[in-house]
Amino acid sequence: MKSIAVFSLKGGVGKTTAAVNLAHAAATSGGRRTLLWDLDSQAAATLLLRAAPGARAKARAALAGDQPIDSLIEPTAHPNLSLLPADRSLRRLEGDLARADRGGTIRRHLKALAPRFDRILIDSPPGRSTLATELFRAVDLLLVPSIPAPLSAAAEAALADELGRLGKAAPPVLLFWNMADRRRLLHRTLLDARPERIAIPSAAAVEAMTARRAPIAAFAARSPVARSFASLWSAVEMALLRS
Ligand SMILES: Nc1ncnc2c1ncn2[C@@H]1O[C@H](COP(=O)(O)OP(=O)(O)OP(=O)(O)O)[C@@H](O)[C@H]1O
Ligand SMILES: [Mg+2]
């Protein structure tokens, strides 16, 4: 099993969008037994993938070990893709993790889930937190979206700094552009400065995900943005080979 956390210090840059579309790519075109683990109490990824109305809030209790985390896993409408849903109880997870005598909660749960899955994608809330540090120490790859903007380099440097403090415990990082618009000079300049980085275009199909409650490839498989996510998934698999 390989685990990938979609993370960024900034909010609203496309973490949830990427987590859902990449999990779908892993499960369908990649044929991997895939789990999307929603660790954000906003539960946006859960909303997009959940096949049936959710149960009562209990994710926090399961994470704290009161209940096996397996029992929360739900099937989705997509082959090979399962969901470990978030709910509002996760608002208090940060306090639980900070109070725990030793870290490693996320790592332990990932280990327990490993026999059932080939790929686990984690959607996380933005910013520095105890959860973020736990994720850094637990996952095989950190996938980081960044919107082409003058300050994106500063945010990337801040994250590199954060990870640098973990030394060898830090995971490899794969950065990608999101909401890229080549018609804009600034975007073109930033994109051309990093030709190796995959760019997900700004696209109406992404916004349609909410109304459809589905990954883009499930309703607009031939769109450029769906193809970009497929390329990004290939890049993730390549990065995992090197990790
Ligand atoms: N490539 C894109 N093209 C157009 N809209 C996009 C694109 N990527 C994301 N969006 C839109 O931008 C908004 C934020 O995206 P998303 O929820 O994925 O970000 P996030 O990083 O998970 O946010 P948060 O930090 O709040 O969890 C959403 O409304 C989403 O539909
Ligand atoms: Mg999100």
3-state SS, the chain, equals CEEEEECCCCCCCCHHHHHHHHHHHHHCCCCCCEEEEECCCCCHHHHHHCCCCCCCCCHHHHHCCCCCHHHHCEECCCCCEEEECCCHHHHHHHHHHHHCCCCCHHHHHHHHHHHHCCEEEEECCCCCCHHHHHHHHHCCEEEEEECCCCCHHHHHHHHHHHHHCCHHHCCCEEEEEEEECCCCHHHHHHHHHCCCCCEEECCHHHHHHHHHCCCHHHCCCCCHHHHHHHHHHHHHHHHHHHC
The predicted structure's pLDDT at residue 106: 95
Which pTM does this prediction carry?
A: 0.97
Ligand with smallest separation from the Cα of 45: 2
Does 10 sit in the ligand 1 pocket, CB within 6 Å? no
30 has pLDDT over 80: yes
Arithmetic mean of pLDDT over the chain: 95
- Give yes or no for residue 136 having a pLDDT over 90: yes
Q: Which domain holds residue 49?
A: 2-242
pLDDT for res 81: 98
The token pair at 230 is: 């497929």
pLDDT of residue 97: 93
Nearest CA to ligand 1 atom 26: 12
Give me the pLDDT at residue 65, please: 81
- Give the residue-averaged pLDDT of 40-69: 88
Tell me the CA–centroid distance for residue 15 and ligand 1, in Å: 7
Beta carbon of 198 within 6 Å of any ligand 1 atom: no
Q: Which band of pLDDT confidence, cut at 50, 70 and 90, is reported for residue 52? A: confident
pLDDT of residue 64: 86
Ligand 1 atom 25 nearest Cα: 11
The reported pLDDT for the residue numbered 6 is 98
Q: What pLDDT sits at residue 221?
A: 97
Quote the ligand 2 centre to 40 CA distance (angstroms).
Answer: 7
Residue 53 — pLDDT band, cuts 50, 70, 90? confident
Confidence of residue 158 (pLDDT cuts 50, 70, 90): very high
Atom in ligand 1 nearest the alpha carbon of residue 40:
27
Q: 118-122, 148-152, 218-222: lowest mean pLDDT where?
A: 148-152
The one-letter amino acid code at 163 reads L
205 exposed, middle or buried (CB, 10 Å; 0-12, 13-18, 19+)?
middle
Q: What is the pLDDT of residue 243?
A: 83
Q: In whole angstroms, give the CA distance from residue 26 to residue 198.
A: 17
| CA 169 and chain centroid, separation | 19
pLDDT attached to residue 90: 95
* Ligand 1 proximity of 5 Cβ (cutoff 6 Å): no
> For residue 167, what pLDDT is reported?
94
Q: Ligand 2 centroid vs 46 CA: distance in angstroms?
A: 10
Is 12 touching ligand 1 by the criterion CB < 6 Å? yes
State the pLDDT at residue 220.
98
Answer yes or no: is pLDDT of 77 > 80: yes
Six-digit token pair at 131?
């959860």
Mean pLDDT of 29-47: 97
Q: Ligand 1: does its nearest atom lie under 6 Å from the Cβ of 31? A: no
Region 135-162: what's the mean pLDDT?
95
CA within 13 Å, CB half, 215: 28
- Taking residues 113-139, report their average pLDDT: 97
Name the residue with the closest Cα to ligand 1, atom 29: 207
* 49 C-beta closer than 6 A to ligand 1: no
Q: Assess whether pLDDT exceeds 80 at residue 199.
A: yes
Instruction: Give the strands of the sheet with 81-84, arranged side by side.
Output: 74-75, 81-84, 34-38, 119-123, 2-6, 141-146, 173-180, 199-201
CATH code of 97's domain: 3.40.50.300
Is the C-beta atom of 147 inside 6 A of ligand 1?
Answer: no
Kindly state the average pLDDT of the residues 127-152: 96
In the chain, the number of structural domains is 1
| 164 has a pLDDT exceeding 80 | yes
